[in-house]
Chains A and B, each alone.
Chain A
Amino acid sequence: MKFSDFVSVDAIRPCVAANSKEGVIREMTQSLVDAEKIAAGEMDSIVKAIMKREDLGSTGIGRGVAVPHTKHPSVSRLVGTVAISEQGVDFESLDGEPVQLFFLLVSPPDRPGDHLRALENISRQLRDEAFCKTLKEAGGPQEVWRLLEDADAQSIAS
């Protein structure tokens, strides 16, 4: 599953303002509401579910990257977005490093395969340190989108 299959370009936040774990999650969820990918009335329930998942173990998977996510019955297809924090946010990551790059995913409960394929794509691309670095430095949503598209194109080619 490519980035362009689940990342909403309108919801990309290259300069996230929040400086706490929940703040970032809330801001990203709000961006999906603004992009009309999730219903405004479901926002609190989604944020709560994502935080609940974080309580089970941080999704900060190292290298300054976190993948906060949840399954939620209000979505009929996998939706996601990307955010970048310039100064980094403490996410209780596995390696203790602050997180700069966030991929937030909300998936329908009955599609575990899609969720796995989105995680597969994210983790495969993030093993490339140069990709992480350029993404963290991206200046605007369009630039982030272009980098994601380039990554998609490369993964098809390889």
Chain B
Amino acid sequence: MTIDQTENSMHETHSREVVVENEQGLHARPADLVAREAQRWESRIEFVGKAQRVDGKSILDLLTLAAEAGTHLVVEATGPDASEALDAIGSLFEQKFALSEEKTRTHTNNTKQEEQISSDSAGIKAATCEGVAERNTNS
């Protein structure tokens, strides 16, 4: 999914290698963090895996890499801020996306969650697909 950015194509492409170092691989949360970081830069940013080249600014694209722990990827940046973008993305990988998965989980604040859990989840009145909704909730 390469977007044609004529302005960026005037710039030289910079590239560097990154390694997925966290145990769980490039799953949804790190992919989200990487896409957000990539979106901060003007340059076109692409990740090159074994068999594909994807848009680094798209979480869907990054997830299609299915990059497990230990995977080496090449990041290419083309644009006026290419070198800075690569540094920022590279350090995100080096910090294992700054998330310690198990720790982050236990440290989650429960207050919001308790609130949501106590709210009634049935929401049956909103059913617009009538027969089906009824069958589902009664089963």
Contacts and interface: CB of A to CB of B under 8 A. Distances in A.
B32 A94 contact: yes
Contacts of B28: 59, 61, 67, 69, 119
A15 interface: yes
Given A51-B113, A112-B25, A19 B123 contact: yes
A108 interface: no
B132 A14 contact: yes
A120 B63 contact: yes
Q: B-side binding surface: helix, strand, loop or mixed?
A: loop
B109 interface: yes
A10 B130 CA distance: 19
A112 B24 contact: yes
Interface string A34-61: 1000000000000110011101110101
B128 A116 contact: no
**Interface range on chain A (Cβ under 8 Å from partner):** 35 or more
Interface stretch (B5-13, B66-74, B76-84, B86-94): B66-74
Contacts of B2: none
Interface of A: 13-23, 26-27, 31, 34, 47-48, 51-53, 55-57, 59, 61-63, 67, 69, 86-87, 94, 112-113, 115-117, 119-120, 122-124, 126-127, 140
12 contacts: A17-B123, A17-B136, A19-B123, A19-B126, A22-B116, A23-B120, A23-B121, A27-B136, A120-B63, A123-B60, A123-B61, A124-B64
Which 7 A-B pairs give the minimum distances between C-beta atoms?
A15-B129, A120-B66, A123-B63, A19-B126, A15-B132, A23-B121, A18-B123
